[in-house]
A and B are shown apart, each in its own frame.
Chain A
Amino acid sequence: MDLATAGLKTTDHDGVIRVDFIERNILDEANIQLIGDGLNQIIESNDRPRILICFENVEHLSSAALGALITVSNRVGSKEGQLRLSDINDQILEVFRITRLDQMFQIHGTAAEAMASFS
Chain B
Amino acid sequence: MADSPEHQDDRNGSDSLRRGVLVLHDVRSELDGIQTKVVAGIRDAGYDEASTFAVRLALEEAVANAFRHGNDEDPRKAVKVEFDISGDRIWLAVEDEGSGFDPTAVPDPTEEANLEIPSGRGIMLMRAYMTDVAIVAPGNRVEMTFRPNG
Which A positions have Cβ atoms within 8 angstroms of B? Answer: 28-30, 33, 60, 62-64, 66-68, 70-71, 73-74, 91, 95, 98-101, 103-104
Contact = CB atoms under 8 A, between A and B. Distances in A.
A60 B53 contact: yes
Which of A74, A91, A103, A104 lies at the interface centre, i.e. has the most chain B CB atoms within 10 A of its CB? Answer: A91
A62 B61 contact: yes
Interface stretch (B7-15, B26-34, B90-98): B26-34
A70 B117 contact: yes
Give the interface SS of chain A, mostly helix, strand, loop or mixed: helix
Contact of A62 (B57, B115, B118, B128): B57
Interface stretch (B119-127, B131-139, B140-148): B119-127
A30 to B, nearest CB: 5
A66 B49 CA distance: 21
B125 A99 contact: yes
B81 interface: no
Interface of B: 27-29, 31-32, 35, 49-50, 53, 56-57, 60-61, 63-64, 67, 109-110, 115-119, 121-122, 124-125, 128
Contacts, number: 64
Given A28-B31, A95-B125, A60 B50 contact: no
B128 A98 contact: yes
Given A29-B28, A64-B64, 20 more contacts: A28-B32, A29-B63, A29-B64, A60-B56, A60-B57, A62-B61, A62-B125, A63-B64, A63-B125, A66-B118, A67-B118, A68-B118, A70-B117, A73-B116, A74-B116, A91-B50, A98-B125, A99-B109, A99-B121, A99-B124
B38 to A, nearest CB: 13
B64 A62 contact: yes
B121 A63 contact: yes
B65 to A, nearest CB: 9
A103 B31 CA distance: 30
Nearest to B112: A100
B60 A100 contact: no
B137 to A, nearest CB: 24
Contact of A30 (B28, B57, B61, B121): B28
A33 B26 CA distance: 14
A118 to B, nearest CB: 22
A107 B64 CA distance: 27
Nearest to B67: A29
B113 to A, nearest CB: 12
